[in-house]
């Protein structure tokens, strides 16, 4: 009884918890979206293309839209990094995130209470759809990059202009990036390492900086023709 009274008091103060408040809303949203999709499927046909011709390979050959983000990552990293390492880090990072969270209002949600978590999550979520957009609309013949106003009839050979950092410069660039990224939060918010703990802080910042390195690598490739920042005999980044 006492616990129920305390929960009712919190709800009266505008506090909302993941269970049951958020779960109920997500369940209702799921039902609404399902009904909308069913209605759309009755009104419009799926945009299917012509039957595949085994004697003619499509150029560019593209995966289904939900895999195009992964296919686009293959442009910027080694295949095993883009197809295995990065997805594995994303999955593991999402799994360990609840155990790394030291938010004092655990179990509650709302942008004002969880700005750091929501901003970074929404950035990663938007980044995935940006990669899908690039793969869908900006990749033309031979998987070359075309702006929306450029014609796919004009053949491009940008691979000849690509260059890579030297091993020393690449290692220095990545080392400086992660070192500065680790130091900046400490300078901005005093006591952050002590509050979260050294191990938890390093894990969270490594995951976050790794995510933000992906758009940096995209910019280096698209605007500065950088193939790889770091080349080694075992992997290329």
Residue 126 burial (CB < 10 Å; 0-12/13-18/19+)?
Answer: exposed
Question: How many residues in the chain?
Answer: 237
pLDDT, position 45: 81
Tell me the average pLDDT across 161-186: 91
Cα–Cα distances in angstroms (integers) from residue 63 to residues 39, 70, 86, 132, 180, in the given order: 27, 9, 18, 10, 37
pLDDT, position 29: 94
What is the separation of C-alpha 62 from the centre of its chain, rounded to a whole number of angstroms? Answer: 20
pLDDT per position as a tens digit, 40-65: 999 988 777 778 788 888 888 888 88
At 34, the pLDDT band (50, 70, 90 cuts) reads very high
Phi/psi at 56 (5° precision): -140, 115
pLDDT per position as a tens digit, 147-158: 888 888 888 776
Q: In the chain, pLDDT over 70 holds for what percent of residues? A: 88
C-alpha count within 13 angstroms, C-beta hemisphere, residue 177: 18
Tell me the average pLDDT across 138-144: 87
pTM of the complete model:
0.74
User: Residue ranges per domain, the chain?
Assistant: 1-48, 63-224
């Amino acid at each position: 009884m006492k616990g129920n009274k305390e929960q009712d008091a919190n709800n009266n103060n505008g506090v909302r918890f993941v269970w049951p408040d958020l779960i109920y809303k997500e369940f209702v949203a799921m039902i609404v979206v399902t009904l909308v999709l069913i209605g759309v499927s009755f009104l419009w046909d799926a945009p299917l293309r012509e039957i595949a011709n085994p004697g003619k390979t499509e150029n560019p050959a593209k995966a289904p839209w939900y895999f195009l983000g992964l296919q686009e990552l293959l442009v910027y990293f080694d295949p095993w990094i883009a197809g295995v390492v990065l997805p594995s880090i994303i999955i593991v990072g999402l799994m360990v995130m609840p155990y790394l969270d030291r938010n004092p209002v655990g179990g509650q949600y709302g942008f004002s209470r969880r700005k750091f978590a929501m901003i970074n999550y929404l950035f990663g979520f938007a980044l995935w759809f940006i990669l899908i957009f690039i793969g869908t609309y900006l990749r033309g013949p031979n998987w070359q990059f075309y702006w929306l106003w450029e014609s796919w009839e004009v053949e491009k050979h940008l691979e000849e202009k690509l260059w890579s950092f030297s091993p020393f410069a690449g290692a220095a660039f990545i080392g400086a990036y992660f070192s500065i990224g680790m130091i900046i939060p400490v300078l901005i918010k005093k006591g952050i390492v002590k509050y979260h703990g050294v191990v938890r802080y390093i894990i969270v910042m490594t995951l976050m900086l790794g995510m933000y390195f992906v758009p940096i690598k995209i910019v280096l490739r698209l605007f500065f023709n950088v193939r790889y920042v770091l080349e080694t005999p075992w992997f290329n980044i």
